[in-house]
Structure 1
Amino acid sequence: MSLVDAVWEHLATVKRWLIIVDNVDTPTRIGPGSGPLAAGRGWLRPHGGGVLLVTSRDTTRQTWGPDADLIHLPPLADNEGGAVLLDAAPHAGTAAEAESLAVRLGGLPLGLNAAGTYLSVPTSRHRTFSAYQHALEAEFADLLGAEHPGAAADPEVSRRVVRHTWDLSLDQLHQDGYTLARPVLQLLALLEPAPVPRTLMTPELVADATGLPATAADVDAALAGLHQYGLLHTPGATAPGDGVPPVNQLQLHPLVRDVTAHTLTRPEPTNTWLAAIDEHLTRAVDMVTGMSGRTGWPTARLLAPHLPAHLDRSTQNGSSTARDTLGDLAGALNAAGATSEELLLRRRILADRERVLGPDHPDILTSRNNLANALDDLGEHRQAADLHQRNLTDRER
């Protein structure tokens, strides 16, 4: 009889036992043999008179089998995250300030622990929750994106360092054949901190940005692997009704996005990758605005938060075509009744035209009129009336 069979034969005669197997980063290595864990013939068996608790980054039912109770651990709630910070650094500020920092860190325990540990050290440069939160914008690479010299050789160190912890999952995915998992994650991190329509993450975008060969199957596998290891989430979508299906969405945890974006090699591949993203955002808007009826409306709403940054980058490169792209999408959002998203784009279009064209260009009047109409649709009638009055005065002049 093998050792594992002997252990489980004994456990069958015992009640109320608890076995904890922590940090199973590579489930396939839990032996004996090379059989799947879901078969229940190795060290992990879903039966007996006690509880077998396993912690892992792998979240798929295929790995653990139908008898396992999968418990997904979400980030901490805002007030709970604030309490963690207050426990670690009780003199760093108020409960409200701690909660605000916890929100910025997305309730991720690893990030909360890193921030709390930093603030608890008397010699740290930033000594309050507010100061640390403010410093994250300019010093993210030093505060949460810093490398640890021992991480490469010791997985235990990697698990405790924000900069390295997700590398464990990405390395495992690469070893398992998901060669595009890391570049796909990096591409998503260069987009805005908002859901991304699945249709944007095409093989053409991946290939154009990274220079790597990419098929639809490769991208599907990469996204599935990232989701399997909890690096990617798929929030639900609301369809506009009348038989229009919801749009699949991709979203990164804010801290995963920040760390990934800050650890890209700069200025390359960032510039090349952003150029590819901008080209495919333009294509996505062209496709959505060319759809008949309501078909493109859900995707249009998802694209909207990513276009202001697209406009900023295009303006820096001396191109004005991005304004037309924003205008086209704003028109689709108007038809969809997505006034908040439309208003975001109308404001950015007007501001950009005022900066580039000056206050007396006819296009300014058109953009101001469009913004006023969007404000009126949103119920901001006084602001809309003021803009219309200003337009009337300028046209008379």
Structure 2
Amino acid sequence: MGIIPRQADCFQHRDAADALSGTVATGGAEVLCHVLSGTGGVGKTQLAAHHARTTWETGTADLLVWVTATDRAAILSAYAEAAVAVTGTDDDRRLCTDDPERAAARFLNWAQSTDRRWLIVLDDVADPLDLSGLGGRLALWPPANPQGRTVVTTRRRDAALPGHRIDVGLFTPTEAVAYLTAKLAAQDRQDHPEDITALARDLGRLPLALAQAATYLVDLHLSCADYRTRLADRSRSLPDLVPEDSGLPDAHRATVAATWALSVEHADRLRPRGLARPMLHLIALLDPNGIPTTVLTSPPALAYLAARRTPAQGGHRPGHHIGTEDAADALRCLHRLSLADHTPGTPHQAVRVHALVQRATRESLPDAACDALARTCADALDVAWPDTERDTALARALRANAAALTSHAPSALWEPQAHTVLFRAGDSLGHAGLVTAAVTHFQDLHATARRHRGPDHAEAFRARRRLAWWRGMAGDAAGAARAYRELSVDELRLLGPDHADTLDTRHALAWWRGMAGDAAGAATGFEELLTDYLRLLGPDHLHCLVTRGNLIHWRGEAGDAAGAATAFDDLLADHLRVLGPDHPDTLNVRHGRAWWRGTAGDAAGAATGFEELLADYLRVLGPDHPTVLTARSDLAHWRAEAGDAAHAAAAYRALLADSLRVLGPDHPNTLHARRGLARCQGTAGDAAGAAVVIEELMADYLRVLGPDHAETANARADLARWRAEADRTHDGGTA
């Protein structure tokens, strides 16, 4: 009964087909109903049709009923016709027309009581409510008879769906390539395998998209490379890249773009009504591989949901208050309709979505609305982005989402001014230790700022300032100093000598001048800057206090370590008076005082100072703050210098474990901890072992920071030291 869809050309056998053939669930219970669930276009109907065809052809069913179950009326009609087939009475023929619900009831009663084998396929169930017995209606779910089997295909993932659910996903990479290759070969096409693989990847391995793209490019005699070029062209929409309705392959009922429209309508009708569609708008501009929950439940996101709530749903007016629970429930609506995957257990990548669903959603929005949406998404990212990145997984996810947003709406984030998230993303790369990537990011940002605003605009200057900073952090201190010097000239010309940005640039210039090897010049620069800060801001302003600290530091680097230690005592007194004992800058001054105390020759006193400081850092900032990890490293260093190699090694070992967890293996601070641990190993007498560790570490320094970075040079010096020490030990032993 019913018409089984013909098998698609180049049908791919998939794991879901084997799961569908199973008769026993994981717990050992017999499976009478399988539910194939997945987003539109993944091939659920084809899998069900293959199973039905195989069941019939092998003679394992005496009755096969295929139902296109898009609404209740269609299901009733199919059941009524089945009643006629199994009874053949004139009464059932009359009921089929006059009272299909009674005829359907007779068929279901027969299916419940018969000893004949049957298979009922309910294809494309749009709403489980259509099959329910709610309100005294006839329940249309097939009965649980050991002689019968039911297969359901649906985009829904409601917990109320009966039976054993089989989640149908995308083709695997191998299946996608095999399908495209066979589809093209059937038309005597032999495209390059790399182009086929790339096209499968570009289309996200969605079976429906692959089929329609293959038909389109064959019809227009395009190569896979040509099609990829059109697909990447933002001026073309998805309907422009598939066949017209009359030319759809494999009896498809809708194009890729239209496939999800009905699902969105159904999702929007679920509680909280009217929120699924605007939530999908937000998701459409972010990273398909994972969006943090905090972004989609942030105040800017909630405001967008309230303003854009579908007005016809549930009687809520746009602007009605929306809370975080409403936003979370809207995500569940999208999940239930397989429009997105919502996994709250992975909060940093809680929401995943197919890239073509995103594209179809974006293309449904007017350009102006999409631009406003992009700024909302940027606001949401900015709010969710912590000032201090203690969670590297969250920071990585936020950067990925910022990159996706920038790629989808590159111009919108520059109006009315450059959005803060553009700068946050670049700084986050640097804070994660990806300093080369940070340099590249700000090079691109500066070029974009010049293009949008011109070379002398404040936003172009801001990008230059960050670019220079990360250039220095990437190891090019001289280049950073040169860039800041050039920027200082431009800011003096356009902003004047007393502008805050001009003074900030002079501050950075002095710092990188010192890092480039000119400690005396750095001290002079900070001394001159301090004079201007005192004139403009007064002695107790934070900028004055910080500048005094940097002046002391570079005087110490210029050779006056004892004077630096003493000067930090005086500076600490002013910090305590102005800022209090727990202010981060007060703690930083204590950090500098302890360091210069050790550099002046009192290693034990430095270790004691860092030990006391660490307790306060932990209390104020928490154990995973980057500043706390740095203080732990310095404490281990001065313990080693004071002769306590065993405790220093233990401290470095614990620090390395935490750095790997918090910062990741490639962060410069993690590499520094490995180097410190090797130094303790060498100091304890195992120079050969230390050399081996540093040799392994050198490969990572070269890969992460490059050959010219100061830290790479320090590691290279350590390697030479421990090799030489190992050779001396070996020669002494053999002598």
* Pair 1:375–1:24, CA change in 2 (3 A): same
Larger radius of gyration: 2
In structure 2, the partner of 1:20 is: 121
Q: Which has the higher helix share?
A: 2
1:176 paired with 2:270, answer yes
Secondary structure at the residue paired with 2:118?
Answer: strand
CA contact (8 A) 2:270 2:333 kept: no
In structure 2, the partner of 1:225 is: 333
The within-5 A match list for 1:25-40 is 25-30=126-131, 34=135
Determine the C-alpha separation between the residues in 2 that align with 1:332 and 1:35: 62
1:349 paired with 2:447, answer no
Q: How many Å apart are 1:201 and its aligned residue?
A: 0.3
The within-5 A match list for 1:238-387 is 247=348, 249-266=350-367, 268-285=368-385, 288-290=386-388, 294=390, 296-308=391-403, 313=411, 314-315=413-414, 317-319=416-418, 321-322=420-421, 324-326=423-425, 328-330=427-429, 333-334=432-433, 339=434, 344-353=437-446, 364-372=467-475, 379=700, 381=702, 384-385=705-706
Of residues 169-178 and 41-50 in structure 1, the stretch that sits farther from structure 2 once superposed is 41-50
CA contact (8 A) 1:145 1:162 kept: no
Determine the C-alpha separation between the residues in 2 that align with 1:191 and 1:131: 27
Deviation per residue, 1:284-307 (Å, 9 max, x gap): 11xx2347xx4x333212101123
Aligned with residue 108 of structure 1, among 206, 212, 235: 206
CA contact (8 A) 1:31 1:42 kept: yes
Q: Which amino acid aligns with 1:129?
A: C
Deviation per residue, 1:312-350 (Å, 9 max, x gap): 55456543744542355346534xxxx5xx764453034
In structure 2, the partner of 1:165 is: 259
Q: How many Å apart are 1:227 and its aligned residue?
A: 0.4
Secondary structure at the residue paired with 1:75?
Answer: coil
The within-5 A match list for 1:49-198 is 49-62=147-160, 64-65=161-162, 68-90=163-185, 91=189, 93-121=191-219, 124=220, 127-138=222-233, 141-144=236-239, 159-177=253-271, 178-198=273-293
CA contact (8 A) 2:279 2:330 kept: yes
Q: Which amino acid aligns with 1:369?
A: G
CA contact (8 A) 2:268 2:333 kept: no
* Pair 1:343–1:25, CA change in 2 (3 A): farther
Determine the C-alpha separation between the residues in 2 that align with 1:346 and 1:47: 67
Q: How many Å apart are 1:95 and its aligned residue?
A: 3.6
Deviation per residue, 1:353-390 (Å, 9 max, x gap): 476668xx67544211334597976936168345648x
Secondary structure at the residue paired with 1:187?
Answer: helix
Determine the C-alpha separation between the residues in 1 that align with 2:152 and 2:121: 6
Determine the C-alpha separation between the residues in 2 that align with 1:175 and 1:255: 23
* Pair 1:171–1:318, CA change in 2 (3 A): closer
* Pair 1:328–1:368, CA change in 2 (3 A): closer
Q: Which amino acid aligns with 1:81?
A: A
* Pair 1:330–1:83, CA change in 2 (3 A): closer
Q: How many Å apart are 1:56 and its aligned residue?
A: 0.7
Deviation per residue, 1:211-256 (Å, 9 max, x gap): 2333323212211010011111146877xxxxxxx64511111211
Q: Which amino acid aligns with 2:122?
A: V
* Pair 1:86–1:385, CA change in 2 (3 A): closer
* Pair 1:74–1:94, CA change in 2 (3 A): same
Determine the C-alpha separation between the residues in 1 that align with 2:260 and 2:330: 15
Q: Which amino acid aligns with 2:702?
A: H
* Pair 1:50–1:173, CA change in 2 (3 A): same
CA contact (8 A) 1:198 1:248 kept: yes
Secondary structure at the residue paired with 1:55?
Answer: strand
Deviation per residue, 1:258-302 (Å, 9 max, x gap): 221222211x211211111112222211xx2347xx4x3332121
CA contact (8 A) 1:93 1:128 kept: yes
Task: Please give the TM-score of this superposition, normalised by the length of structure 1.
Answer: 0.76
Determine the C-alpha separation between the residues in 1 that align with 2:338 and 2:446: 42
* Pair 1:82–1:42, CA change in 2 (3 A): same
In structure 2, the partner of 1:243 is: none
* Aligned residues with identical type, % of pairs: 23
Higher RCO structure, 1 or 2 (CA under 8 Å, sep 6+): 1
Q: How many Å apart are 1:139 and its aligned residue?
A: 5.7
Determine the C-alpha separation between the residues in 1 that align with 2:285 and 2:168: 26
Q: Which amino acid aligns with 1:222?
A: A
* Pair 1:28–1:220, CA change in 2 (3 A): same
Q: How many Å apart are 1:102 and its aligned residue?
A: 1.3
* Pair 1:315–1:308, CA change in 2 (3 A): farther
Determine the C-alpha separation between the residues in 2 that align with 1:45 and 1:371: 68
Determine the C-alpha separation between the residues in 1 that align with 2:414 and 2:298: 27
* Pair 1:236–1:205, CA change in 2 (3 A): closer
Determine the C-alpha separation between the residues in 2 that align with 1:273 and 1:136: 23
Q: Which amino acid aligns with 1:182?
A: R
Q: Where does structure 2 lack aligned partners over 5 or more consecutive residues? A: 1-100, 309-318, 477-665, 672-698, 714-735
CA contact (8 A) 2:340 2:352 kept: yes
* Pair 1:197–1:368, CA change in 2 (3 A): same
Determine the C-alpha separation between the residues in 2 that align with 1:6 and 1:142: 49
CA contact (8 A) 2:402 2:425 kept: yes
Count of residue pairs brought into register by the alignment: 357
Secondary structure at the residue paired with 1:71?
Answer: strand
Deviation per residue, 1:66-106 (Å, 9 max, x gap): xx010111101122112222333221513442222111111
Q: Root-mean-square deviation (CA), in Å?
A: 3.8
* Pair 1:380–1:79, CA change in 2 (3 A): farther
CA contact (8 A) 1:92 1:128 kept: no
* Pair 1:139–1:310, CA change in 2 (3 A): closer
Secondary structure at the residue paired with 2:341?
Answer: coil
